[in-house]
């Protein structure tokens, strides 16, 4: 049985933000593989790319992918290129339900152009370049169990769509994805409603 929910997809599709909201709603712990790489190395992703290159980052990312796949009841938000290494996909699939978040190149460009900390964003980057990069990665994202286009959805709509997937899997396959809320979290969510 799958024990984790793994969000994959190109940068700027909402993986981190959706992951945090979903983790809160279903009482899973949230893990961001990029932040885990930063913790382990003591460097930002940009510093790793600048000082050691993409291959070093991908190696650190693979170590983190293996580590987080041993955990249970986690929402794991991954870096956009984690699927480039087949061993990462195999490791994450072994214990996780893979959900790809996607969006149009134009929407992604709008989202990521506001941030400068992403190592693959260059000054000459635009929606056309993003479309080319996405096309190159598309075959790798085919490993996803489900795909959600976030282009015209709010964050909560994306989270609700994932919740519907999990509810259907509970009903059809007997998987348990939702834990009863008790204590402070139950009170916090009841106040939000």
Flag whether 122 is marked binding: no
pTM of structure: 0.87
Is residue 17 annotated as involved in ligand binding? yes
Query: Per the domain annotation, does 82 fall within a domain?
Result: yes
Q: What would the pLDDT profile of 161-177 be if each residue is shown by its tens digit?
A: 999 999 998 888 877 77
- Examine residue 56 and state whether it is found in any structural domain, yes or no: yes
Q: C-alpha 169: how far from its chain's center?
A: 20
- Residue 116 in marked binding region: no
Counting other chains too, the contacts that 62-65 makes at CB distance below 8 Å and 24 or more residues apart are: 62/87, 62/88, 64/33, 64/36, 64/37, 64/40, 65/33, 65/91, 65/92
* 80 marked as part of a ligand binding site: yes
Evaluate whether residue 72 is within a structural domain.
yes
Q: What is the pLDDT of residues 130-149, one digit of tens each?
A: 999 999 999 999 999 999 99
Angle, alpha carbons 17-23-27 (nearest 5°): 160
pLDDT number for residue 120: 56
Specify the higher pLDDT residue, 10 or 1: 10
Query: Does residue 18 lie within any of the structural domains?
Result: yes
Q: Is 123 annotated as a binding residue?
A: no
* Token duo for residue 1: 């049985």
Residue 73: which CATH number? 3.40.50.300
- 16 labelled ligand-binding: yes
First to last CA, the chain: 32
Is residue 129 situated within a structural domain? no
96 annotated to a ligand binding site: no
Count of domains observed in the chain: 1
DSSP state of 4: E
Give the DSSP H or E segment for 69: none
Domain residue limits at 143: 4-103+139-187
């Amino acid at each position: 049985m799958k024990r984790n929910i793994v969000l994959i997809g190109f940068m700027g599709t909402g993986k981190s933000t959706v992951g945090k909201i979903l983790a809160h709603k279903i009482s899973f712990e949230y893990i961001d593989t990029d932040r885990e790489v930063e913790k382990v190395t003591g460097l930002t992703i940009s510093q790793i790319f600048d000082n050691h290159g993409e291959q070093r980052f991908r190696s650190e990312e693979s170590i983190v992918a293996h580590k987080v796949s041993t955990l249970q009841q986690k929402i794991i938000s991954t870096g956009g290129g984690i699927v480039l290494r087949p061993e990462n996909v195999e490791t994450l699939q072994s214990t996780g339900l893979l959900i790809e978040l996607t969006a149009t190149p134009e929407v992604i460009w709008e989202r990521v152009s506001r941030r400068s900390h992403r190592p693959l964003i260059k000054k000459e980057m635009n929606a056309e370049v993003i479309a080319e990069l996405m096309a190159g990665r598309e075959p790798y994202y085919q490993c996803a169990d489900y795909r959600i286009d976030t282009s015209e959805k709010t964050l909560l709509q994306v989270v609700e769509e994932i919740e519907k997937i999990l509810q259907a899997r509970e009903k059809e396959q007997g998987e348990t994805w939702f834990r009863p809320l008790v204590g402070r979290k139950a009170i916090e969510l009841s106040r939000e409603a």
